[in-house]
Structure 1
């Protein structure tokens, strides 16, 4: 029997906070409060029978994010402890890519991703966003009503990313459906993972046969000479990481803006930059709430808790944001350097500038085109998708004055 230091908590016999429950999506603050009541590190379940340590304190989170000697991103020891049909395996199983690697392998994979994304110039990305907004404008403008999740945020990301990855527009529904199932971690998670993997495999096969001016082709041709399997898993990571969290960041920001009419008017008038709203969401309602997943390399004492190995240690960006929102900020707006939604340390997000540009440009284009967006429901009545990892709206219904993208009205994308 393992003997724990007398001043350390061992949660192995404690009831976990169940982040997979339906109630977590509708009221995450209640669950984060229960975790924080346990101290800087709480005890939770990501799925039935899948326990995890959850870090809800900023200082403890930074200690995890910067300590590569103690914490690893490699989940393979953990994988042997969970059922093969666990609904969270699709999001957490090991793959040879930048997210699940440490040391030299991580540096090699990360360097290739930085290199190929650096070739995406801001003006090029901006043009792709404008094109996507124009296409969506033609669909929703004349109706005078729309769901800004299903009709705008998610299809916009599918259009932009498929364009960057060398896929046609009509493939967007496959991307949306497969990643949505996998991210929610429910009964359809395994099906979603298989569908998304097939999507990526078909893409890499096509680019290996006929290279183009796109991200997968650049990875296949990179001087690091990644194997085809390695390229497949880098694309699996980057396409998924680019789609789900960014679509959620876009819709969460729109809901936050529209839920505050005074705030919305300052944005549409140009008195306040859209970036302020995006940064507020990254602080207080981050789209990737519980996906900073690490593993202690060995049993270790950490902020008053005895961490076992082969148990996930989850940095909860959602909990950090919730508790930072409760703090007095003396009237100042948060800045992009003071939150942890991009991560920190060796695994910090390498493409945050691309993400910020994409989201701010999409919102600016939409609100210029439709300056009278009016939410159908108050923000407190919006519903959220289930799942332990994300903060993601189910829908964001709005009304507006019908407009045609081909009209001569000011603000129409062209």
Structure 2
């Protein structure tokens, strides 16, 4: 198997690819973004050892690509043929017949089913599901007076919420959470985790094929566009994954920013500033899905002076775009400005961003109602981040608070 040649144009010939898979990227992604930007609007990197990719670090180049479906495709199968089957990167990039990897009319058809299914979830219903999941988790660690908000709140919270939305009992939620974490991290166990996640989805589909319910899976199976059970399986496979990990990271990143700044936290808990501002700030400056939006050139082409070959991933670095936007603004922040590209752009713009925002804001509001004196154990600059080229995700976030028990009277604690 021959590795693709380095890109030409503004990327220096023979330049060593920037290794986004190494631990240093998780520690200091901005340094890596600077190295990529030094090459031009499109840098040359590795997503995993021996897996090269073009990384788009310029906003205009990103928008030009995202809005040009004639030149660019989401279908990775030509690239897949160049990668060994045991590569851990495949869990995040392997072709599957779903919305993410489809183009044209097929993409429109798949996307329509997702939009229609999620539109049946009323905001008040989603809010109640989030509150219920938060209450379950706080009842577990609340009496202790301490918790790791990543392992004990953010990630299991998304397991409970999405497991519930798609129609399985709470007892199955840990399977979803555990498998997704390993797939995204590009760990050695990614192949096993992908198999376990696949088994979870197949069991979910089989359950709903036998007996429908008031859930997203059933609505997809019964959609008027007539998806086959296999198509529904892959839609669910994608949507669960796309909803779980990025939303968990969005909540944990937002909480770490909020709690790491007492003055900021006070404005939120007093109601003088909405939690939504903090969530949007994370999307704009520390987006949880830092590098994705993967495309492939249909034919060799030039993008902003860089010659792009076929069968080589072209990755949108939302993290780099956010970093350089903040840097160029001189650090002046306008949290209500949603001009960030965390939702992507063009035909593949996130179809359920309002649901995601509601989940994140309600989760943070409910948690801080329960535990208004949450205090981080470590300063934010001492927190550690999970390795991997795609995400910006904390490994842990330990906090302390006044213990709350299920039978405690008054406030939110009485509802536990």
TM-score, normalized by length of structure 1?
Answer: 0.96
- Alpha-carbon deviations, 1:198-237, whole Å to 9, x = none? 1101110111011111111111111111111100000000
Q: By how many angstroms is 1:279 displaced?
A: 0.4
Query: Following the alignment from structure 1 to structure 2, what is the Cα–Cα distance between the partners of residues 334 and 276?
Result: 5
1:261 corresponds to 2:262:
yes
Q: Give the gaps of 5 or more residues in structure 2.
A: none
2:280–2:338 contact (8 Å) kept in structure 1: no
Aligned residue pairs total: 410
Deviation at 1:10, TM superposition (A): 6.1
Kept in 2, the 8 Å contact 1:375–1:397? The answer is yes
- Between the aligned partners of 1:364 and 1:7, the Cα distance in structure 2 is 49
Counterpart Cα distance in 1 of 2:199 and 2:8? 49
Report the 3-state secondary structure (helix = DSSP H, G, I; strand = E; otherwise coil) of the residue aligned with 1:291: strand
Corresponding position of 1:345 = 346
- What is aligned with 2:299? 298
Structure 1, unmatched stretches of 5+, are: none
The 2-side partners of 1:395 and 1:373 are apart by 15
Q: In structure 2, what is the Cα distance between the partners aligned to 1:33 and 1:283?
A: 18
Report how far residue 365 of structure 1 moved. 0.7
User: In the aligned structure 2, how far is the partner of 1:401 from the partner of 1:96?
Assistant: 48
Secondary structure (helix, strand or coil) at the match of 1:340 reads coil
The alpha carbon displacement at 1:37 in A equals 0.7
What's the CA shift for 1:329? 6.2
Give me the whole-angstrom Cα distance separating, in 2, the residues matched to 1:267 and 1:232: 40
Distance 1:306 1:11 in 2: 12
Asked whether the 8 Å contact 2:11–2:39 carries over to 1, the reply is: no
Residue number in structure 1 paired with 2:143: 142
2:182 counterpart residue number: 181
Matched with 1:204 is 205
Give the match for residue 243 of structure 2: 242
Match of 1:133 in 2: 134
- Aligned pairs for 1:308-327 (under 5 A) are 308-327=309-328
SS at match of 1:157: helix
Q: Which residue of 2 aligns with 1:52?
A: 53
Q: Distance in 2 between matches of 1:348 and 1:406?
A: 45
Q: Does 1:214 align with 2:212?
A: no
TM-score norm. by structure 2 comes to 0.96
- State the distance in 1 between where 2:282 and 2:182 align: 24
After TM superposition, list the pairs within 5 Å mapping 1:89-238 onto structure 2.
89-238=90-239
Question: Does the Cα contact within 8 Å between 2:18 and 2:44 map onto a contact in 1?
Answer: yes
Partners of 1:68 and 1:15 in 2: how far apart?
Answer: 30
CA distance in 2, matches of 1:23, 1:170: 37
Indicate whether 1:333 and 2:334 are aligned: yes
Query: What is the Cα-based RMSD across aligned positions, in Å?
Result: 1.6
Q: How many angstroms does 1:12 deviate by?
A: 7.2
Deviates more, 1:357-366 or 1:323-332: 323-332
Asked whether the equivalents of residues 134 and 413 of structure 1 are also in contact (C-alpha less than 8 Å), the reply is: no
Structure 1 position 390 matched with structure 2 position 391:
yes
Deviation sequence 1:326-359 (CA, Å, 0-9, x none): 1326855233531000000000000000000000
**Compared CA separation, residues 413 and 272, structure 1 to 2 (3 A):** farther
Kept after mapping to 1: 8 A contact 2:99/2:111: yes
Q: Distance in 2 between matches of 1:252 and 1:129?
A: 18
Looking at structure 1, the residues matched to 10 and 372 of structure 2 have their Cα atoms a distance apart, in angstroms, of 54
| Greater displacement, 101-110 / 380-389 | 380-389
Secondary structure, counterpart of 2:247 in structure 1: helix
**Could you say which residue in structure 1 is the equivalent of 2:290?**
289
**Structure 1 stretch displaced more, 319-328 or 61-70:** 319-328
The 3 A distance-change label for structure 1 pair 380 and 142 is same
Question: Counterpart of 1:292 in 2: which secondary structure?
Answer: strand
| 1:304 Cα offset (Å) | 1.4
Distance in 1 (alpha carbons) for counterparts of 2:327 and 2:410: 42
**Match for residue 413 of structure 2?**
412
Query: What is the match of residue 73 of structure 1?
Result: 74
**1: distance between equivalents of 2:90 and 2:14?**
24
Aligned to 1:45, what secondary structure does the other structure show?
A: strand
